[in-house]
């Protein structure tokens, strides 16, 4: 059916590429492009003998717009799936504009020198993408991503208005290390060490990092401590859910993780401000990333499950209603299927589905759009088919 250029070859990209190769009717040809060509070639060698999808590889510096443009013009994909770092979103979007190619990513742009998570930089491209007649689909991971699709589905099928939304992200996995992150350490630590915030009554309420704690009993995992964080999908959902009064995002953390993180913060290792070391400028957080375990290596040793979902409260036909949509994913089942732990799996599968929605023409709206702006039904069907079946409850326990 089409060709996809996949930029990035880390843990999430590996899952998405595995899934593209399982879905050869849609992904007839893919090109895996990364700064490190050997990683792309190794993945191709592993997958090509067992798929009808034709795989090619390329080396590209995703910080260089001209290199990206040259690659896109040479390969001529129908869609570019950006699974590189969030710092590179804008250069890849610029290249897609120059070549009039559809664009999909999983996380919003972040400036490398500031821990700031917001969509303003990417939303500034709306008019240019619309005029070019191409679609940019933002945030096709799990959170953001599936959580937005869940919200659109709940509004379409179960509510006249959604008033309260709590997004709960629980990782009950155990990898055996005293301290490691389940996705890019630099991005993960920037996210959790930033100030928290939630949206209520038309404005942002800011909190100190990890200030608000709740305990929740998750199916498949059990009781876990969870903490309120800022997360980018709150920003778009606040605009796209009519009648919404409050949106919060919670993520679970174990005590060992929090203790190690506090110690690293106290000694300056989570800083993103450059320091001089032996005559060179280094960023402490980037050095820390280099010494921590590679998230892609955690698959064989991680056991347990994730549980990620949305609890909605609102009204239907004048009556109050509550509704819970969620997915439970097993780390070891993911590893047996694609060689990855569940954190990468729950992001990589929706990334493939988002690109599939574009290639199939089911989602086709020129401009820059967040995932909840499209019809959720085909995406929800694809989640069940491609490894992330969803569950629902009509009487969930609420978060106070």
For 211-225, how does the pLDDT look when each residue is reduced to its tens digit (9 = 90+)? 999 999 999 999 999
Using the predicted structure, report yes or no on whether residue 378 has a pLDDT greater than 90.
Answer: yes
Q: Point out the least confidently predicted range of 35-49, 186-200, 302-316, 385-399.
A: 186-200
Q: Which of 108-122, 140-154, 342-356 has the lowest mean pLDDT?
A: 108-122
pLDDT digits 0-9 by tens, 338-354: 999 999 999 999 999 99
- In terms of Cβ atoms closer than 10 Å to its own Cβ (0-12, 13-18, 19+), residue 277 is exposed
Instruction: Report which of residues 44 and 275 the model is more confident about.
Output: 44
| Residues whose CB is less than 8 angstroms from the CB of residue 140 and which lie 6 or more positions away in sequence, other chains included | 104, 105, 106, 350, 351, 353, 354, 355, 371
Q: What distance in Å separates the CA atoms of residue 173 and residue 96, rounded to the nearest whole number? A: 37
Write the CB contacts of 79 (distance below 8 Å, at least 6 apart in sequence): 2, 3, 4, 5, 101, 102, 103, 104, 355, 358, 359
Longest dimension (CA), the chain: 68
Whole-model pTM over 0.75: yes
**CA 334 centroid distance within chain:** 17
pLDDT classification of 182: cutoffs 50, 70, 90: low
pLDDT of residue 298: 79
**Spatial distance between the Cα atoms of 61 and 46, rounded to a whole number of angstroms:** 23
Reply yes or no on whether the pLDDT at 51 is more than 80. yes
d(CA 338, CA 19): 8
Q: Confirm if 33 and 71 have CB atoms less than 8 A apart.
A: yes
Choice between 59 and 174, residue whose per-residue pLDDT is larger: 59
Report the SS3 class of residue 305.
strand
Compute the distance between CA of residue 248 and CA of residue 197 in angstroms, rounded to an integer. 8
């Amino acid at each position: 059916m089409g060709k996809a250029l996949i930029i990035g070859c880390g843990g999430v990209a590996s899952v998405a590429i595995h899934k593209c190769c399982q879905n050869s009717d849609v992904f007839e040809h893919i090109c895996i492009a990364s700064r490190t060509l050997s990683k792309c070639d190794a993945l191709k060698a592993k997958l090509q003998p067992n798929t009808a999808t034709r795989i090619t590889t390329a080396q590209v510096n995703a910080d260089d717009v001209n290199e990206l443009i040259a690659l896109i013009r040479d390969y001529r994909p129908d869609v570019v799936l950006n699974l590189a770092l969030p710092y590179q979103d804008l250069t890849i979007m610029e290249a897609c504009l120059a070549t009039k190619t559809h664009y999909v990513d999983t996380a919003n742009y972040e400036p490398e020198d500031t821990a700031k998570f917001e969509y303003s930089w990417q939303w500034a491209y709306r008019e240019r993408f619309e005029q070019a007649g191409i679609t940019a689909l933002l945030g096709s991971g799990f959170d953001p991503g599936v959580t937005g699709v869940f919200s659109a589905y709940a509004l379409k099928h179960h509510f006249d208005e959604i008033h309260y939304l709590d997004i709960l992200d629980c990782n009950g996995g155990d990898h055996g290390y005293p301290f490691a992150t389940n996705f890019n350490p630099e991005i993960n630590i920037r996210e959790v060490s930033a100030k928290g915030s939630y949206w209520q009554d038309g404005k942002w309420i800011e909190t100190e990092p990890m200030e608000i704690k709740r305990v929740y009993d998750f199916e498949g995992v059990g009781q876990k401590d969870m903490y309120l964080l800022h997360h980018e999908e709150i920003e778009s959902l606040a605009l796209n859910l009519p009648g919404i009064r409050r949106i919060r995002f919670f993520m679970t953390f174990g005590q060992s993780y929090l203790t190690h993180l506090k110690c690293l913060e106290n000694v300056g290792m989570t800083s993103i401000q450059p320091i001089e070391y032996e005559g060179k400028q280094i960023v402490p957080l980037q050095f820390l990333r280099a010494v921590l375990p590679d998230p892609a290596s955690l698959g064989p040793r991680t056991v347990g499950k994730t549980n990620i979902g949305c609890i909605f409260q609102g009204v239907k036909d004048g009556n109050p209603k509550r509704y819970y949509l969620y997915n439970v994913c097993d780390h070891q089942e993911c590893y047996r299927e694609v060689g990855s732990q569940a954190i990468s799996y729950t992001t990589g599968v929706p990334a493939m589905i988002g690109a599939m929605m574009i290639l199939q023409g089911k989602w086709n709206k020129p401009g820059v759009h967040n995932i909840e702006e499209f019809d959720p039904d085909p995406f929800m069907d694809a989640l069940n088919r491609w490894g992330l079946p969803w569950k629902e409850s009509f009487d969930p326990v609420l978060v106070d």
